[in-house]
Structure 1
Amino acid sequence: MDIQGFAGIPQAYGVSGAARNKPGAAAGAAEASSSGTQVSFSDRARALASSDSAIAARLESIKAKPAVQRSSEEVAFVQANDGQLAGILAKDPQTRTADNISQVQQAGGFVNTMAKLSADEKRLYDDLVAQGDSEAVRAMNLVALSRTGTGEATLPAGQRFDPGKTAITADNVRQLFSQMFVSGDGRDAKSFDALAKVLDATAS
């Protein structure tokens, strides 16, 4: 809002010349001047708020798309404007909690594997992260990944089970979940063994 000056104010409000010379006149002018400053600040605040709203709206729109449907410009926009995501990505990957992983997956348009873990399982995940047990954490990620499918899984030996309805216990990790992932270098077996040992200790 552009304030053109105060010359027309007395006439507009029917204030006589005598009234303008009264002690309160200076205070009135100062108040009007202050009002003009407030309008200027208010305009700036509204402009900033409008800009923030536009950015938030675009972030929401981009995040609604899966990763494969995003342009490189949209990927760059999310990385540049999502402060929460930037904070998580700045952390050591080994220290990211279940919620951190979930936020990164959602922001990136990937399958949210952490959503497949229960509240208790997420607490276990975070405890493993806090303990620095990267192998057991890796196994938890594989368990979460196994639950992104639908229905039952068939293991190499022919046994069938539903990962989404199977609790994460030491026995189930060794006999079921670990049989879904068999890497040639033995890394998957090592990770599941680490998780099973933690669960054994917890149960005892």
Structure 2
Amino acid sequence: MRIIAGRHRGRKLVAPAGTATRPTSDRVRQALFDMLWHAPWAGRSAVDGAVVLDAFAGTGALGLEALSRGAERATFLETDAAALRALRANIAICREGERCTVLPTDAARPPRAAKACTLVFLDPPYGEGLLETSLRALSASGWVAPGALVCAETPAGPDEAAPPPGFTLLAERAHGPARVLFMRPEGGGA
């Protein structure tokens, strides 16, 4: 696993052993960011200068990729001890400590946000129905800015294919066992 593009391009990231953490593959991350940069509802401005939330962060690959491509800051939410060690190691590998905040907390029960995020990544464990629960909790706690772009990875099956209530689906793409949903909060502007 490595950073795909930007100023940290090619940096190798570490992942914890075992199956508790399921890092987003390089291929899916590349496709996700290509779509962000080229979609009419996003563009480079969706990443450049963004305040990023990487919820269910695992290794932090999504948030670190965004920083590499021009995001301003990133906050990572993660509870697994092994994933937190890998996440902190990856932040150090990329020398991004000053622009990162790591909160060892559950994205489905987050603390109040210090600043709303304009680009939100969610990669909850598959099959646990956490996409809707966490998006509702993150929104209620002030993490999701009006007009924010939300990118969520779900299983490719139909179980979690619809956007949660309060969010408008902009696009979706299947990549092997994963599906990426791109959404905005309803009534939040563009």
TM-score, reference length from structure 2: 0.23
Q: Which has the higher helix share?
A: 1
TM-score, reference length from structure 1: 0.22
Rg comparison, structure with higher value: 1
Q: Which has the higher strand share?
A: 2
Q: Which structure carries more relative contact order (alpha carbon 8 Å, separation 6+)?
A: 2
